[in-house]
Amino acid sequence: MSIPPLPPPSATTAEGRLPVGDGHEIFWEESGIAGGVPTLYLHGGPGGRLTPGYRRQSPAGRARIISLSQRGAGRSVPGAGAPGAVDLSTHTTAHLVADLERLREHRGIESWVVQGVSWGSTLALAYAQAHPERVLGVVLFAVTSTSRREVDWITEGVGALYPEAWDEFASVAEAHAGFDRHDHSPQRLRLVEAYRRMLTGPAGALVDHAARAWMTWEDAHIGIGGGGPAQSHAAHEDQPVSEYERGFARLVSHYWAHDGFVADWARDWGAAPGAGLLGGMPRLDGIPGVLIHGRRDVSGPALTAWELHRAWPGSELVLVEEEGHGGPRMVDAWRDAVDRLLG
């Protein structure tokens, strides 16, 4: 079955920067029509790009389409990719959720359909659980919840499928941060923590060396399936490390080293300690949701999407057998899901 050509992304109708505290200003943009159903798009990463393609997935003639560069990423300031050491103490999932609420209030929106891609699906779930009264529906694409199991798999376990790429990735942490691939004790230094230390430290050459290694590993483990990454994360070896690469690697390793700051996310709602976003799924009872995932997504196995779906009354799970961490059939399912929710 052929996939029809994608429509061009709708043009932006408004944009700006919103002060959200802690010295941060987040960049936001709108497209679609002012009287349409509000939809919010959350990009991946953390630290990913806000590219125009997301606007294709919501019907511009019926939706008010809103997105933002998350704290520290893209056109938000200050960026996390500046040379030298950075302070990421005001970068947590709770801060990002609060930023979304400030943006909703700033744009005069009562409630919206929330869409999230990859890491953005983790943030979408966190926001929906914190503010279910503000959510009309949820669409998740390449589903994650950023649990410790997922983080350890994507940084270490999946190396069983890419042993040569993982060997290079791990060797940087062994040489510069004390990581020991042979240490399997509960107290061991996790690989993601080793990278977090390298990437947030003051040594400029080591920061860039670690950033290049991280981005090269990103390209390796999301390459299976129809589509894979929209474009390469890592710059060519003869090019300097960019602020985007540095910021992306810093933010991802920071959030992942803290298991997305969601280990006890639902504790205040009666979930067991350490239950994470899975423990807060009853908060979404009555909110329609569609979870779209590729069966061949080896960096994010379908188990997470299945567990979240089972814990979410009324949700729909769409597994695309022939695709991985993205692909044209998954995108087609995404557009269909948003169209149905808006209807």
- Would you name the residues annotated as active-site residues? 118, 297, 325
Distance, CA of 78 to CA of 1 (rounded, Å): 45
Q: Which residue has the tokens 């090019």?
A: 239
Burial of 163 (0-12, 13-18, 19+ CB in 10 A): exposed
Contact 324, 298 (CB under 8 A): yes
Contact 43, 67 (CB under 8 A): yes
Distance, CA of 172 to CA of 231 (rounded, Å): 24
Q: Who's near 184: CB < 8 A, 6+ residues apart?
A: none
Length of the chain: 343
Please compute, for residue 37, the number of CA atoms within 13 A of its CA located in the half-sphere on the CB side. 17
Backbone angles phi, psi at 136, to 5 degrees: -85, -30
Token representation of residue 149? 């199991």
State the DSSP string of 290-331: EEEEETT-SSS-THHHHHHHHTSTT-EEEEETT-BSB-HHHH
